[in-house]
């Protein structure tokens, strides 16, 4: 039993395993094991395992599934949708999983779809992930050929069809209801909740939207048991997690590590520490929409709660590092440009607030900023904050903005005083 | 009821609603943009943020969007909280970043919801000094201007146009702060309800284009409550006038009829009153202009003769009543065609029958199963089509209730409902503009439809229908499905109308009556009249006095001449019959607002007033008599019909109405539509001008520098000035809605008992008809003719929203949407004739030529004929058309005088070249 259930088959040099090799390596054991189980039993196991969604919010997966109405009275058509629209800045963990071991995702989808009673599943794939598309398509074809997809899977009488959909692109499609709208061919605006997708999702049918990495956890849980799964990880979060580091480190990358590993171990161990001549100034622990942490937090264990206590979020677990030679104002400005461009345009604070913030950063960069602009930035942290907007996009953007304004007040000031970026 | 506390004040509110709606119902000022009283909430603009506190100990509270927050009993809120105020000001600041601030040249200025809300939010100092986003505008056709730079992205336009009105050619495009609302490419907006965008848009993106041709600020417009003359629905309008010309029509809220919306015929059709088609002076037979006195003398001389009178469904109750008094009831004849008159009898019977209820539009919206037999509602009574679009949502609301989603959560309700719709079964020939929401369509020739309706009636009677040989399984299935839908419904509604024909109306009555028996309570039945006062006119007629009998009187020399009021006889009978009748008498007096072919034959033409220049009472399809107030002073050359007729009591509308109610039983309550004396303060009047009207002393300075006396209006409770009782207080009449801080039409909430409730001001109306009869079933329908000659096409007349109504067809903006008369058949027939859209088609042996529009859904063997309008373009008299005709394609170029058919909007139009001969 591997302690790296997500990546044990991944070898970037050789490419992904074919179906035969994947099965030889113990694959589809998890999926086959559900054949003897009632969907409720699978659900119980997933609940017991304590698996939390890996898309960023960390919501318990079993609990989410349990909201799907079941029984003869319920809507019989249900859907599973895989959120593979990985667009969070600095995040590339799902890409690694899909390119490296596509059958693992398919196996996870079979387990999830069986549990919730969906016989149609969609993979909503980021359009730019061309290689993942190729490999997933091939793996799906192989699985169909082998009878792992189609009708009467593993003799259960249960059918499953998987559709691979490549997205036309937009960050907002990571928001599950916007994703559903996009999948239906509508504008990718988030939907009003309630109704939640578990009750009324894709084309109004009960729908579960899960992240790629979440689903990839399922085969291991089913094949090796809850106890094994919980033995991985510590600090209240179970199993392993894909952690990534980008920035000026020696070996940027993405690794599967147990929950509870310290930030220092990831940055200094796996990523090999900072490059020569650079030192760590601050970092975003879980992608572009999390609050900055600083080197004093390096010994914090990577769990949802520990990072939460610091006022940031573990989110996708992929860190973006800021070094001492890079302008923090430029970094935040770059993020703001991204978020402003990716706003769906539905609600006012996000649609009209972010472009203003972006425009201020552009002015600051070239020394045209003013003290008034900094005040406006501060205003926008509250104005676009949680509860003020229709979805979490703008509040996400205020995380690096709000924490950055506090942390790098001096750098902001310098931009005004020097009339230019001091890092140039 | 629930109790909520807002800023320390306790209110009793409806827990089924959201906080914003309830705050507005309580008269509180809370700014909003994306919420609309009848389109619900989506939470886009974030303008209506308020503070909500958990309990009395909670001092910090949380910001919530009032429109997205359900009312809960005991809720504690603050509108005045500093953080809430700051956030609302911030939202305006954000919305304003790219707004051009062009209020001085913007037509919305002065009635702009964005201006009002900006002021209300307290935002005033502009901090944004970056580049604005700009957009390119589109030409959206003759009705609307497009100025996208003013857009604040509230999504109201697409929510109205697409979600509410079923339009398909307007959409939200692009994203983030580049979001754009327009068509895929420039071009005329196709929806019949596009004009409402001018009112739905909270700022000046969509503005009324005909209005901008002769623009005036809202505060400078004289306004009075009026009733639309576009069709039989009787929508309430608020016309605006300045310098003696009608400038525009906007919606005037009526809780039971039009609510917040009008159709484009109503909104833009009224411009006929300014057109050159209007008769402006009296003329004699030689065309010589007569002064008002000369005309009156001539008229008095003529009335010494033995004259008969022909009334009109487009003339007011008073005009028809006056004519009836002048010529005597035996000599007063119907202004309907004989077939329409027969249909009107069925309609009148249905209004008196206790087995039926004739629903208002608001009630139509709550029908949970609808059957339409033969009537093309979108083209004959457009506003009702908009209500029918809402009726199909009853099933959606039921689903939402089950899922505990409040009905005002607009996007969520649509989400949960998806394509679930309450039954809307349409029995029609060819495509209709409601097909996209229909759950069942039976598309067949008129006779086949009637047979299917008869089969449905038999089915409802508990028997199994006997189908003629050749009836398709699809028809039988349609009958079965409709049967099941109507039986399962709590509130079924059957619709037909005069345009569908008397047989369809009888069948609709029979079906509704059978349903009433089954349900042991009355059944909703709408029989649509054709014109705005069809019912009022019909109620004044002796049953035997049809138009045909009038023509017989003229022929038999039982009289010396006739008086025709506001009627074009060529729209009512075949050309040859009308011509013969008019030739047989020397005296033909025509009183009309507009030039008509009939007026050209007259020995004396007298110009009458339009709804702008005089008050009048109109009776709609329900039997609802409504008073339409005079808007502007009447020019000396014009007189209302009744004043030309100069009968006893005709000196004022009011006195004639009172006389009518004392003299005629069906009208005994008519005087109740007049402003109630108790609400009128002696000596004080209700001003037609706003208190901000400008230029009073300068308006006529080009003619005389002395300020003239204000024109007096002795006959009305309204005055032609700005002094008097402002309508905001307990006034009776509401010409144009305005309230402090609320300059736009959104101010209407200040006049409602509660949001979407009745007006605090009484409506000037009365239901005329009391239901006191139980009539029998009509005899069962059987086909009159056998199968027609297979080389011949059955011809069926159709209506168009733009063109089929005599008055609106004379409005310039409407004319730019009209088409020539046309003939329509399907692709198969087009192939056989080797013809394509735009070709000329001849009806053999008649000499009639029509332009072809290939329409995919026209059944085999049927050709639809739209007769066009005598106002402009090519037209035919629909009574000259045979029942069936052989068709051939004419090898000739199209007339260069016509309007063509390019502006015609039908859903099944096929414009591509049809290949002839062998199919590849």
Give B737 to chain A, closest Cα distance, Å.
29
Q: Look at residue A4 and tell me if it is in a domain.
A: no
CATH number for A188: 3.40.50.11540
Q: Which residues of A touch B47 (CB under 8 A)?
A: 348
Q: Which residues of B touch A379 (CB under 8 A)?
A: 90
Mean per-residue pLDDT, B688-702:
86
Within this chain, do residues A200 and A332 fall inside the same structural domain, yes or no? no
For B97, name the nearest residue in chain A, comparing CA atoms only: A352
What's the CA gap between B520 and B347, in Å, rounded? 22
Within this chain, do residues A336 and A311 fall inside the same structural domain, yes or no? no
What's the CA gap between A9 and A24, in Å, rounded? 11
Q: What are the pLDDT digits (tens) for B90-108?
A: 999 999 999 999 999 999 9
Give B482 to chain A, closest Cα distance, Å.
26
Q: Which residues of A touch B62 (CB under 8 A)?
A: 387
Tally the domains of chain A.
Answer: 3
* Cβ contact A191–B179 (<8 Å): no
Is the domain defined by B2-95 classed in CATH 3.10.20.740?
A: yes
What's the CA gap between A211 and A98, in Å, rounded? 12
Q: Is the Cβ of A347 closer than 8 Å to some Cβ of chain B?
A: yes
Whether the predicted pLDDT of B550 surpasses 70: yes
Band (B147; pLDDT cuts 50, 70, 90): very high
* Nearest Cα residue to B383 out of B143, B164, B226: B164
Do B547 and B334 touch, CB atoms closer than 8 A?
yes
Q: Which of A339, A348, A385 to mutate to test the interface with B (most CBs of B within 10 A)?
A: A348
How confident is the model at residue B732, as a pLDDT? 66
Q: Is the Cβ of A75 closer than 8 Å to some Cβ of chain B?
A: no
Within this chain, do residues A149 and A256 fall inside the same structural domain, yes or no? no
The two tokens of residue B154 are: 């509230």
Within this chain, do residues A343 and A297 fall inside the same structural domain, yes or no? no
Using the CB atoms, write b or e for A398-424: b if 16+ within 10 Å: bbbbbbbbebbeebbebbeeeeebeee
Q: What DSSP element (H or E) covers A219?
A: helix A218-224
Give B176 to chain A, closest Cα distance, Å.
4
Residue B190, φ and ψ in degrees, nearest 5? -85, -25
Q: Is the Cβ of A184 closer than 8 Å to some Cβ of chain B?
A: no
Within this chain, do residues A77 and A58 fall inside the same structural domain, yes or no? yes
Give A44 to chain B, closest Cα distance, Å.
26
How confident is the model at residue A3, as a pLDDT? 86
Q: Is the Cβ of A352 closer than 8 Å to some Cβ of chain B?
A: yes
Whether the predicted pLDDT of B300 surpasses 80: yes
Q: Which of A170, A188, A204 sits opposite B416 (nearest CB)?
A: A204
Given A208, A231, A254, the domain boundary residue is: A231
How confident is the model at residue B918, as a pLDDT? 43
Identify which has the larger pLDDT, B681 or A360.
Answer: A360
* Cβ contact A343–B176 (<8 Å): yes
Q: Which residues of A touch B32 (CB under 8 A)?
A: none
Q: Look at residue A132 and tell me if it is in a domain.
A: yes
Least confident span in A250-254, A416-420, B20-24: A416-420
How confident is the model at residue B760, as a pLDDT? 86
Q: Look at residue A13 and tell me if it is in a domain.
A: no
How confident is the model at residue B697, as a pLDDT? 79
Do B536 and B229 touch, CB atoms closer than 8 A?
no
For B34, name the nearest residue in chain A, comparing CA atoms only: A347
Q: Which residues of B touch A389 (CB under 8 A)?
A: 46
Q: Which of A204, A352, A359 to mutate to test the interface with B (most CBs of B within 10 A)?
A: A352
Band (B724; pLDDT cuts 50, 70, 90): confident
Q: Which of B46, B95, B418 sits opposite A204 (nearest CB)?
A: B418
How far is the CA of A275 from the CAs of A136, A153, A283, A322, in angstroms?
Answer: 35, 51, 15, 12
Do B905 and B190 touch, CB atoms closer than 8 A?
yes
Give A188 to chain B, closest Cα distance, Å.
9
* Nearest Cα residue to B329 out of B660, B36, B37, B762: B660
Q: Which residues of A touch B98 (CB under 8 A)?
A: 352
Q: What are the pLDDT digits (tens) for B586-629?
A: 899 999 999 999 998 899 999 999 999 999 999 999 999 999 99
Whether the predicted pLDDT of B917 surpasses 60: no
Within this chain, do residues A163 and A184 fall inside the same structural domain, yes or no? yes
Query: What's the CATH class of domain B356-506?
Result: alpha beta
Whether the predicted pLDDT of A6 surpasses 90: yes
Q: Which residues of A touch B405 (CB under 8 A)?
A: 194-195
For A370, name the nearest residue in chain B, comparing CA atoms only: B129
Average pLDDT, chain B: 93
Q: Which of A200, A345, A372 sits opposite B176 (nearest CB)?
A: A345
pTM for this prediction: 0.96
Task: Name the percent of chain A in helix, strand, coil, to the closest 5.
Answer: 45, 15, 40
Whether the predicted pLDDT of A300 surpasses 80: yes
* Nearest Cα residue to B460 out of B438, B441, B478, B480: B480
Q: Which residues of B touch A346 (CB under 8 A)?
A: 44, 155
Do B346 and B486 touch, CB atoms closer than 8 A?
no
Mean per-residue pLDDT, B374-401:
97
Give B207 to chain A, closest Cα distance, Å.
23
Give A3 to chain B, closest Cα distance, Å.
43
How confident is the model at residue B920, as a pLDDT? 38
Give B65 to chain A, closest Cα distance, Å.
8
Q: Which of A200, A349, A383 sits opposite B415 (nearest CB)?
A: A200
Given A323, A353, A385, the domain boundary residue is: A323
Give B94 to chain A, closest Cα distance, Å.
5
Q: Which residues of A touch B88 (CB under 8 A)?
A: none
Q: Which of A192, A352, A388 sits opposite B87 (nearest CB)?
A: A388
The two tokens of residue B679 are: 């609400």
* Cβ contact B98–A170 (<8 Å): no
Looking from the CA of A168 toward its CB, the CA atoms found within 13 Å total: 11
Q: Look at residue A145 and tell me if it is in a domain.
A: yes
Whether the predicted pLDDT of B539 surpasses 90: yes
For B403, name the nearest residue in chain A, comparing CA atoms only: A195
Give the ipTM of the model, two decimals please: 0.95
What's the CA gap between A224 and B4, in Å, rounded? 56
How confident is the model at residue B420, as a pLDDT? 94
Q: Which of A344, A347, A355 sits opposite B46 (nearest CB)?
A: A347
Within this chain, do residues A296 and A332 fall inside the same structural domain, yes or no? no
Q: Which residues of A touch B416 (CB under 8 A)?
A: 195, 200, 204
Q: Look at residue A12 and tell me if it is in a domain.
A: no
Q: Which of A190, A347, A369 to mutate to test the interface with B (most CBs of B within 10 A)?
A: A347
How confident is the model at residue B919, as a pLDDT? 42
CATH, domain B793-910, list 3.40.640.10, 2.40.40.20, 2.70.98.70, 3.10.20.310? 2.40.40.20
Whether the predicted pLDDT of B641 surpasses 50: yes
Within this chain, do residues A75 and A205 fall inside the same structural domain, yes or no? yes
What are the sequence ranges of the domains in chain B?
Answer: 2-95, 130-273, 291-354+522-694+708-734+753-771, 356-506, 793-910
Size of interface A-B (CB pairs under 8 A): 111
Q: What are the pLDDT digits (tens) for B309-365?
A: 999 999 999 999 999 999 999 999 999 999 999 999 999 999 999 999 999 999 999
Could you tell me if residue B501 is left (phi over 0), alpha (psi between -120 and 50 degrees) or otherwise beta? Answer: left
Q: What are the pLDDT digits (tens) for A240-253?
A: 999 999 999 999 99
How confident is the model at residue B709, as a pLDDT? 81
Give A71 to chain B, closest Cα distance, Å.
17
Q: What size, in residues, is chain A?
A: 424
Q: Is the Cβ of A341 closer than 8 Å to some Cβ of chain B?
A: yes
Band (A237; pLDDT cuts 50, 70, 90): confident
Within this chain, do residues A66 and A160 fall inside the same structural domain, yes or no? yes
Q: Which residues of B touch A198 (CB under 8 A)?
A: none
Q: Which residues of B touch A188 (CB under 8 A)?
A: 175
Within this chain, do residues A209 and A261 fall inside the same structural domain, yes or no? no
Q: What are the pLDDT digits (tens) for B438-464?
A: 999 999 999 999 999 999 999 999 999
The three-point CA angle B277-B280-B283 to 5° equals 105
How far is the CA of B68 from the CAs of A388, B31, B64, B213, B405, in angstroms?
Answer: 12, 14, 8, 40, 11
Q: Which of B51, B69, B415, B417 to mutate to test the interface with A (most CBs of A within 10 A)?
A: B415
| Matching residue, tokens 């629905």 | B233
Whether the predicted pLDDT of B854 surpasses 70: yes
Band (B660; pLDDT cuts 50, 70, 90): very high
Helix (H, G, I), strand (E, B) or coil at A231: helix
Which stretches of A120-261 are assigned E, i.e. beta strand?
120-125, 161-166, 207-211, 240-246, 253-258
CATH, domain B291-354+522-694+708-734+753-771, list 3.90.1150.10, 3.50.50.60, 3.40.50.300, 3.40.50.740? 3.40.50.740
Given A173, A207, A231, the domain boundary residue is: A231
Mean per-residue pLDDT, B857-885:
94
Do B19 and B71 touch, CB atoms closer than 8 A?
yes
Identify which has the larger pLDDT, B398 or B787.
Answer: B398
Q: Which residues of B touch A207 (CB under 8 A)?
A: none
Q: Which domain holds residue A99?
A: 19-231
Within this chain, do residues A160 and A273 fall inside the same structural domain, yes or no? no
* Cβ contact A187–B172 (<8 Å): yes
Q: Look at residue A8 and tell me if it is in a domain.
A: no
Could you tell me if residue B172 is left (phi over 0), alpha (psi between -120 and 50 degrees) or otherwise beta? Answer: beta
The two tokens of residue B194 are: 């596009």
Q: Which of A192, A379, A383 sits opposite B42 (nearest CB)?
A: A192
* Nearest Cα residue to B322 out of B343, B344, B303, B345: B303
Q: Which of A344, A345, A387 sits opposite B63 (nearest CB)?
A: A387
What's the CA gap between B29 and B121, in Å, rounded? 10
Question: B34: which residues sit within 8 A by CB, 6+ positions away?
Answer: B41, B42, B43, B44, B45, B47, B67, B154, B155, B156, B159
Within this chain, do residues A359 and A212 fall inside the same structural domain, yes or no? no
* Cβ contact A348–B403 (<8 Å): no
For A355, name the nearest residue in chain B, comparing CA atoms only: B177
Q: What are the pLDDT digits (tens) for B788-797?
A: 677 899 999 9
Whether the predicted pLDDT of B729 surpasses 70: no
Band (B405; pLDDT cuts 50, 70, 90): very high
Mean per-residue pLDDT, B222-243:
96
């Amino acid at each position: 039993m591997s302690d790296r259930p997500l990546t044990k088959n991944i070898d970037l040099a050789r490419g992904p395993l074919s179906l035969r090799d994947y099965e030889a390596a113990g694959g589809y054991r998890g999926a086959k094991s559900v054949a003897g189980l009632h969907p409720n039993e699978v659900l119980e196991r997933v609940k017991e395992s304590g698996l939390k969604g890996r898309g960023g919010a960390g919501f318990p997966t079993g609990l989410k599934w349990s909201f799907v109405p079941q029984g003869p009275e319920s809507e019989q058509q249900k859907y599973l949708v895989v959120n593979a629209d990985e667009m969070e800045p600095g995040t590339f963990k799902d890409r690694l999983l899909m390119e490296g071991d596509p059958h693992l995702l398919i196996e996870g989808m079979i387990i999830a779809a069986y549990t919730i009673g969906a016989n149609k599943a969609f993979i909503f794939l980021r359009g730019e992930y061309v290689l993942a598309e190729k490999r997933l398509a091939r793996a799906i074809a192989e699985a169909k050929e082998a009878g792992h997809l189609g009708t009467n899977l593993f003799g259960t009488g249960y059918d499953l069809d998987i559709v691979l959909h490549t997205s036309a692109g937009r960050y907002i499609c990571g928001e599950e209801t916007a994703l559903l709208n996009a999948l239906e061919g509508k504008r990718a605006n988030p939907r009003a909740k309630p109704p939640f997708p578990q009750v009324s999702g894709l084309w109004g049918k009960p729908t579960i939207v899960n992240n790629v990495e979440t689903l990839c956890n399922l085969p291991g849980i089913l094949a090796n048991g809850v106890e094994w799964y919980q033995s991985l990880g510590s600090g209240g979060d179970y199993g392993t997690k894909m952690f990534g580091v980008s920035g000026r480190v020696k070996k940027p990358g993405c690794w599967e590590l147990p929950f509870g590993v310290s930030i220092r171990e990831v940055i200094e161990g796996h990523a090999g520490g900072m490059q020569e001549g650079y030192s760590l100034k601050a970092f975003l622990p879980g992608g572009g929409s999390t609050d900055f942490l600083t080197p004093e937090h390096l010994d914090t264990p990577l769990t949802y709660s520990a990072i939460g206590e610091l006022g940031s979020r573990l989110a996708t677990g992929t860190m973006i590092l800021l070094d001492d030679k890079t302008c923090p104002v430029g970094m935040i400005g770059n993020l703001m440009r991204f978020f402003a461009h990716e706003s769906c345009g539905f609600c006012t604070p996000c649609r009209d607030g972010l472009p203003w913030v972006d425009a201020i950063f552009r002015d600051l960069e070239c020394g045209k900023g003013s003290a008034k602009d900094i005040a406006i930035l501060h205003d926008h942290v509250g104005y676009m904050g949680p509860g003020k907007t229709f979805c979490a996009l703008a509040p996400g953007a205020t995380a690096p903005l709000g924490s950055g304004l506090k942390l790098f007040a001096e750098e902001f000031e310098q931009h005004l005083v020097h009339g230019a970026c001091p890092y140039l | 009821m629930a109790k909520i506390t807002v800023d320390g004040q306790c209110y009793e509110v409806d827990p089924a609603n959201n906080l914003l709606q309830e705050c507005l119902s309580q008269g509180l000022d809370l700014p909003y943009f994306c919420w609309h009283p009848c389109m619900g909430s989506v939470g886009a603009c974030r303008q209506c943020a308020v503070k909500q506190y958990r309990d009395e100990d909670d001092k910090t509270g949380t910001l919530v969007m009032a429109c997205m927050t359900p009312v809960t009993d005991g809720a504690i809120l603050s509108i005045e909280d500093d953080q809430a105020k700051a956030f609302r000001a911030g939202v305006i600041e954000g919305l304003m970043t790219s707004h051009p601030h062009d209020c001085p040249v913007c037509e919305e200025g002065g009635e702009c919801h964005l201006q009002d809300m900006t002021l209300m939010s307290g935002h005033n100092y502009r901090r944004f000094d970056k580049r604005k986003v700009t957009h390119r505008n589109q030409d959206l056709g003759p009705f609307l201007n497009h100025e996208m730079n003013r857009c604040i992205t509230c999504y109201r336009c697409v929510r109205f146009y697409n979600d509410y009105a079923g339009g398909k050619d307007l959409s939200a495009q692009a994203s983030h702060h580049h979001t754009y609302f327009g068509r895929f490419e420039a071009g005329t907006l196709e929806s019949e309800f596009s004009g409402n965008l001018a009112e739905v848009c909270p700022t000046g993106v969509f503005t009324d284009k005909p209005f901008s041709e002769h623009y005036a600020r809202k505060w400078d417009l004289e306004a009075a409550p009026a009733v639309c003359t576009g069709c039989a629905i009787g929508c309430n309008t608020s016309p605006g006038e300045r310098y003696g010309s009608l400038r525009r029509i906007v919606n005037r809220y009526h809780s039971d009829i039009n609510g917040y919306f009008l159709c484009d015929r109503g909104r833009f059709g009224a411009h006929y009153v300014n057109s050159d088609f209007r008769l402006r002076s009296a003329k004699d037979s030689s065309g010589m202009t007569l002064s008002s006195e000369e005309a009156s003398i001539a008229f008095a001389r003529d009335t010494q003769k033995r004259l008969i009178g022909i009334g009109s469904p487009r003339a007011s109750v008073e005009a028809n009543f006056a004519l009836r008094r002048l010529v005597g009831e035996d000599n007063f004849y119907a202004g309907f065609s004989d077939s329409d008159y027969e249909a009107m009898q069925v309609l009148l019977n249905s209004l008196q029958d206790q087995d039926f209820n004739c629903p208002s539009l608001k009630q139509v919206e709550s029908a949970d199963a609808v059957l339409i037999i033969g009537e093309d509602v979108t083209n004959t009574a457009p506003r009702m089509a908009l209500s029918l679009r809402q009726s199909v949502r009853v099933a959606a609301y039921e689903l939402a209730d089950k899922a505990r989603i409040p009905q005002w959560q607009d996007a969520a309700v649509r989400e949960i409902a998806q394509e679930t719709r309450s039954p809307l079964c349409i029995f029609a020939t060819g495509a209709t503009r409601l097909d996209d929401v229909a759950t069942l369509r039976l598309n067949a020739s008129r006779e086949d439809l009637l047979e299917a309706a008869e089969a449905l009636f038999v089915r409802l009677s508990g028997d199994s229908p006997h189908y003629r040989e050749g009836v398709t399984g699809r028809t039988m299935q349609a009958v079965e499905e409709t049967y099941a839908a109507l039986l399962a419904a709590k509130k079924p509604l059957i619709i037909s109308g005069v345009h569908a024909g008397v047989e369809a109306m009888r069948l609709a009555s029979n079906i509704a009556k059978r349903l009433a028996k089954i349900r042991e309570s009355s059944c909703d039945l709408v029989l649509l009249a054709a014109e705005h006062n069809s019912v009022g006119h019909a109620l004044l007629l002796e049953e035997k006095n049809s138009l045909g009998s009038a023509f017989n009187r003229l022929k038999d020399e039982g009289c010396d001449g006739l008086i025709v009021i506001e009627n074009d006889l060529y729209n009512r009978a075949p050309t040859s019959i009308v011509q013969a009748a008019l030739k047989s008498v020397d005296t033909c007096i025509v009183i009309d607002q507009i030039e008509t072919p009939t007026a050209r034959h007259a020995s004396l033409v007298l110009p009458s007033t339009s709804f702008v220049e005089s008050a009048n009472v109109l009776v709609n399809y329900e039997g609802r008599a409504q008073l339409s107030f005079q808007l502007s002073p009447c020019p000396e050359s014009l007189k209302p019909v009744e004043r030309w007729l100069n009968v006893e009591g005709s000196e004022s509308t009011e006195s004639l109405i009172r006389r009518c109610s004392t003299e005629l039983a069906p009208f005994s309550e008519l005087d109740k539509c007049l402003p109630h004396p108790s609400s009128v303060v002696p000596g004080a009047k209700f001003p037609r001008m706003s208190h901000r009207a400008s230029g009073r002393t300068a308006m006529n300075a080009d003619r005389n520098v002395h300020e003239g006396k204000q024109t007096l209006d002795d006959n009305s409770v309204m005055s032609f000035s700005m002094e008097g009782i402002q309508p905001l207080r307990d006034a009776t009449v509401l010409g144009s809605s305005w309230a402090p801080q609320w300059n736009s039409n959104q101010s209407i909430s200040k006049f409602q008992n509660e949001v979407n409730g009745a007006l605090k001001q009484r409506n000037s109306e009365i239901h005329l008809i009391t239901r006191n009869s139980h009539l029998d079933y009509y005899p069962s329908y059987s086909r009159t003719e056998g199968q027609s000659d297979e080389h011949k096409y059955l011809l069926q007349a159709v209506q168009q929203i733009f063109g089929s109504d005599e008055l609106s067809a004379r409005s310039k903006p409407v004319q730019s949407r009209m088409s020539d008369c046309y003939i329509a058949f399907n692709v198969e027939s087009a192939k056989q004739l080797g013809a394509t859209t735009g070709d000329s088609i001849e009806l053999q042996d008649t000499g009639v030529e029509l332009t072809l529009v290939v329409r995919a859904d026209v059944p085999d063997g049927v050709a639809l004929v739209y007769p066009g309008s005598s106002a402009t373009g090519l037209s035919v008299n629909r009574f000259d058309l045979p029942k069936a005709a052989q068709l051939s394609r004419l090898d000739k170029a199209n007339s260069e005088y016509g309007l063509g058919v390019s502006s015609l909007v039908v859903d099944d139009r096929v414009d591509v070249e049809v290949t002839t001969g062998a199919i590849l």
